[in-house]
Homo-oligomer: A and B are copies of this chain.
């Protein structure tokens, strides 16, 4: 089999690489600005340019990960958040007709899950749930090595499952979504609020030169022994774990994989997740689940998209 091209369309940057069948990125373009504010036509031309640069002679198969819900035929992108003016666009067809090759599109969280299944932490695990912790909380579910997509392609959105019907309202309109507890902005806001009364926390020291409170700062403080920061990460992990316990129970899946920024915090977060899974799962899962770090890191976007056409 030949190399393929993987493209990850983010709100700010497009990442693109040529990937061999073993999951090595053999050529990578420097981050291309998405320039989403210039509308879909411009973004599409950016993607086409990247494809042509990565496969100037032959037309290699192209996998593309984007935000939004993708049609079951894995071609049409619907209302992607962070890509203004998109509404409904048959991205697969647009690219395929411009470069005359096979194009497969899927949701970025589904791509990340598939990438982990083929190249990463899920390599020998038939079924698992991946949660990607970033600005939002993405989710992808792999069953017997395939992405579980549901009736219309919208399945697996663990970030918008509810863990408290009385919980805070989410950007999505619903209440008590996992994302309202561990999405980046919500998490930072909660910690910032409590920090006002925790004069003893190392975080103050780390911010004394005027930096901004971020999950990375909280994580760094926890690693340096700050009990407050540790507990905040553990609590965030606990909320995520309640959501994971629901997914794992409903799907009868015994493995969860965590990726994305806040997952880098490691042990305090994972400790909270494990505690919640034990507490909120039935015995068959509580006694035998596995929890892993995602393995693909910064390459998850390109490799996950490439996995669509491998």
Q: Which residues of A contact B (CB under 8 A)?
A: 69, 126-127, 141, 148-158, 160-166, 172-176, 238-239, 242, 245-247, 249-254, 276, 279-285
CB contact under 8 A between A280 and B246, given known A153-B252, A163-B162, A253-B151: no
Cβ of A155: which chain B residues have Cβ within 8 Å of it?
250-252
The answer to whether A158 and B250 have CB atoms under 8 Å apart is yes
Give the residue name and chain of the B residue nearest to A141 (CB). B250
Give the residue name and chain of the B residue nearest to A254 (CB). B151
Closest 10 CB pairs of A and B: A150-B252, A155-B252, A154-B252, A165-B242, A161-B246, A174-B280, A164-B164, A151-B252, A163-B165, A162-B280
The answer to whether B246 and A157 have CB atoms under 8 Å apart is no
Cβ of A162: which chain B residues have Cβ within 8 Å of it?
163, 242, 245-246, 280
The answer to whether B250 and A247 have CB atoms under 8 Å apart is yes
Number of chain copies forming the complex: 2
Give the residue name and chain of the B residue nearest to A288 (CB). B152
Which of A148, A150, A153, A160 neighbours the largest number of chain B CB atoms within 10 Å of its CB? A150
Which of A69, A150, A151, A174 neighbours the largest number of chain B CB atoms within 10 Å of its CB? A151
A sample of 16 cross-chain residue pairs with beta-carbon separation below 8 angstroms, ordered by A number, consists of A152-B252, A153-B252, A154-B252, A156-B250, A157-B250, A160-B249, A161-B250, A162-B163, A163-B163, A164-B164, A164-B176, A165-B238, A165-B276, A174-B281, A174-B282, A250-B250
* Shortest Cβ gap from A35 to chain B (Å): 27
